[in-house]
Structure 1
Amino acid sequence: MYFKYLTNSAKEDGVVGWDINVSRDLHDYLNEKHVQIPPIKPKNICGSPVFLAIICMSRPSAFNIRRVIRNTWARPRTMNHFNVSFYFLLGLTRDLEIQKRIIQESQQFNDIIQENFYDSYNNLTLKSAMMLKVFTQHCRSAKYLLKADDDIYLNLPLLIESLHIRNKTNNLLVGSMICGGAPKRDPNCKWYAGPNYIYPYSTYPNYVSGSTYCMSGDVARKLFNVALTIPLFHVEDVFITGICARKIRLQLTHDFRYSFHYLQDNTCLFKRLIAVHHLDSEQIEAIYHAEQDEDLDKQCLIKNRFFLVYEWLLTTIFIANNNGENIACGNGKEQDLALKWEFRRNRIITPYIVKPIC
């Protein structure tokens, strides 16, 4: 049956749910003959001409974070005359009460997409593949697709401005780029690559961080089509933006503003970033309410010059860590690490390298 591929089996051969007998052919997960629960889809997905379709990955039980996102950064659906469509993408849950609430939520907000796989961390690649499928089938008129996790704050005005200025509606996949990444071979690591039958190589292709990335519509369709032809790999950002992107010979575009950790009390900084991640619902609300302050732009003027200095440092100076892992880079013109910094008392604390956790 279809579901045998999608359950969280006992840990075997290293990766939960992806032992050697599990199908890694995307076609098997798209076969609707074995669907036992009808998928949930909003009415009229991308029905009108759309500049940007945003699909936010969410856990079935994350009702509160979805409520907060609807009321904060995802609230505007038209930005400077650019139409935006917004949806949450969920997998299945075995909890019948949660499923009942999801159905009610979908009927109320018409923004829930639920596909036929069990929602788990190791099924994130399936989740993003379903995102590409939905976009390919329903959003032909959309110029761009943005994938977002539900623990981010998205600066939607800056995102749309950056896409409009970039004015590249073909062959674009932009995000915080990681080059020279090495597969994690420690089974206790969150990003464990698994044994050699899953990923036999010593390095990953260049890819962009999976928390937030944006692509032109043609790239979304190409990535979906190529994902149907190669074995699935459970590390989502590596598979979608690395392995599949390399297969279609796509040159990635680096933009360090797409992936930053939360820094408390730095609303001025957030106005210059496209996405900040690792946030809880209270932090998302705090950033949103702070950015509604009409005096914020005046308060941020003095800090803006410090950001520009740091931006220059970040994009012109190459800093390597000890083992050369997790290096983020631009389009061959500059290389830099995924860095964090802090604004304190109108000055910049020396940036430090974000080391791999394991």
Structure 2
Amino acid sequence: MFMNFRRIRKCQCVQLLTTGLVLCVMMVCWDEVDHHIVRHVRSYMYRYLINNYDFVNSSLVINPSHGHNKDGSDSVDGGFVNYPYLINHPGKCGGRDGKNWDDVLLLLFVKSSPENFERRQAIRDTWGNESFVSSELGVSVRLVFAIGIHADAEQRSRVQKALLQENQVYRDLIQQNFVDTFHNLTNKLILQFHWKHAYCPQAHFLMSADDDMFVHMPNLVKYLQHLLSSETGAKDLWVGHVYRGAPPNRCKHSKYHVPYDLYPWTSYPDYTAGAGYVVSGDVAAKIYRATQLLNSSIYIDDVFMGICAKAMGVSPQEHAYFSGGAKTQYHPCIYNHMITSHGHATDVRSLWQAVTDSASYRNSRGFMGNLYCKAVRVMLLCIPYFQNTYSCIAAFT
């Protein structure tokens, strides 16, 4: 039996070329591989197996001696900044005389950019419509939009004039004097909790949402009323789409990049997707206190929320039908159960029409309807591509 040395050399050559090609691809794509696999595994293990450090230590606590400038104004040196209001509605929840607060079930705070008038109007006309919620659902909801000033200095005056006109009509804009950019989202988070503390402390719940969110208000109200009627009541609640053991993004080209000197640890505290979550009144009060104590230089608002909650001993709770950052395709078998859905900049009105149309629920009624919808939800939700919308658990709830 003879061995073909020429064939062996050919196979070895192919193996070497293949190995070299794989190594080249890994070198080129290492940042992506490291970010999506290695860092997540390392972060998750560190957060839940070792867990040997505090996520909130002295480096994140504001030094009281640096809290104010000599003239008495709030310092901007890495700590809490109390920006002045440019537009405000102190009487939105009643209590103008310090008494007689309205019984508000839910304070809806929508984070919006100054130029997004169409998105705000669509929300006013649909899921944020206070009159609809009052007449059809029998509860009191207050809707306000959190905004800063336009980022473009040349357009700022024109946009501000339009905002003042919009506010005269709808009286639901809350604006502070900071530039409205991605890196100032934490300022909007602080605005929400400070405004609630000052002007709507009696609200049972606070919801924070982006202006491209769709909220199934009947489902949300039903869920919140159930919580209030439970034996424990609505306490210690922070509910949404939870991210656990997530690592900081160290890729410099990403808008989510967080350098080591800003956040040196391997893992973030657990937090909910900032696109839409709900907290109970007592948790809102705790977060308010935390924002006064912690350094707000972390510009990713949902991460800062997680840091504040960690400091106050609050943990997020997963709800199967609070969506993550991605958008799932529309199907009544999913949207009839959902509470929030992200990525709806243009189709809010059509979704609302489907929600308020009782005929859209017919396919999900009865044994066969339930069986059909369960199969649809499994096909649409239990595949990796949609894991950032609703979890697979939602298919079985």
TM range (shorter): 0.7 to 0.9
Distance 2:227 2:77 in 1: 40
Q: 2:348 aligns with which of 284, 291, 311?
A: 284
1:61-109 deviations in Å (ceiling 9; x for gaps): 0011111111111122425322111111111123111100100111100
Distance 2:371 2:292 in 1: 47
* Residues 41-60 of structure 1 aligned to structure 2 (within 5 Å): 41-42=88-89, 44-47=91-94, 48-60=102-114
Q: Which amino acid aligns with 1:352?
A: P
Distance 2:269 2:372 in 1: 34
Residue in structure 2 matched with residue 100 of structure 1 by the alignment: 161
Unmatched segments (≥5 aa) in structure 1: 1-21, 33-37, 314-340, 343-348
Q: 1:255 to 1:307 in 2, by over 3 A?
A: farther
* Residues 109-188 of structure 1 aligned to structure 2 (within 5 Å): 109-167=170-228, 168-188=233-253
Q: 1:198 to 1:68 in 2, by over 3 A?
A: same
Residue pair 2:333, 2:373 contacting (<8 A) in 1 also: no
Residue pair 2:148, 2:175 contacting (<8 A) in 1 also: yes
Instruction: Decide which structure has greater strand share.
Output: 1
Q: 1:148 to 1:180 in 2, by over 3 A?
A: same
Q: 1:132 to 1:159 in 2, by over 3 A?
A: same
1:314-348 deviations in Å (ceiling 9; x for gaps): xxxxxxxxxxxxxxxxxxxxxxxxxxx62xxxxxx
Q: Which amino acid aligns with 1:57?
A: K
Q: CA deviation at 1:273?
A: 0.6
Distance 2:387 2:197 in 1: 36
TM (normalized to structure 1)?
0.76
Residue pair 2:114, 2:148 contacting (<8 A) in 1 also: yes
Residue pair 1:89, 1:127 contacting (<8 A) in 2 also: yes
Unmatched segments (≥5 aa) in structure 2: 1-75, 95-101, 389-397
Q: 1:30 to 1:125 in 2, by over 3 A?
A: same
Q: CA deviation at 1:183?
A: 0.5
Q: Which amino acid aligns with 1:114?
A: Q
Q: Which amino acid aligns with 1:135?
A: K
Aligned residues: CA RMSD: 2.3
- Provide the secondary structure at the position in 2 that maps to 1:68: helix
Q: 1:108 to 1:310 in 2, by over 3 A?
A: same
Identity %: 27
- Provide the secondary structure at the position in 1 that maps to 2:140: strand
Matched, 1:201 2:265: yes
Instruction: Decide which structure has greater helix share.
Output: 2
Q: 1:267 to 1:23 in 2, by over 3 A?
A: farther
- Provide the secondary structure at the position in 2 that maps to 1:55: strand
Q: CA deviation at 1:250?
A: 1.0
TM (normalized to structure 2)?
0.69
Residue pair 2:290, 2:311 contacting (<8 A) in 1 also: yes
Distance 2:236 2:330 in 1: 37
Distance 1:218 1:43 in 2: 21
Q: CA deviation at 1:276?
A: 0.5
Distance 2:387 2:78 in 1: 31
Distance 1:44 1:62 in 2: 25
- Provide the secondary structure at the position in 2 that maps to 1:30: coil
- Of 67-76 and 126-135, the range deviating more from structure 2: 67-76
Matched, 1:23 2:77: yes
1:237-296 deviations in Å (ceiling 9; x for gaps): 0111x1110100112211121115433441331120100101122x11221122233311
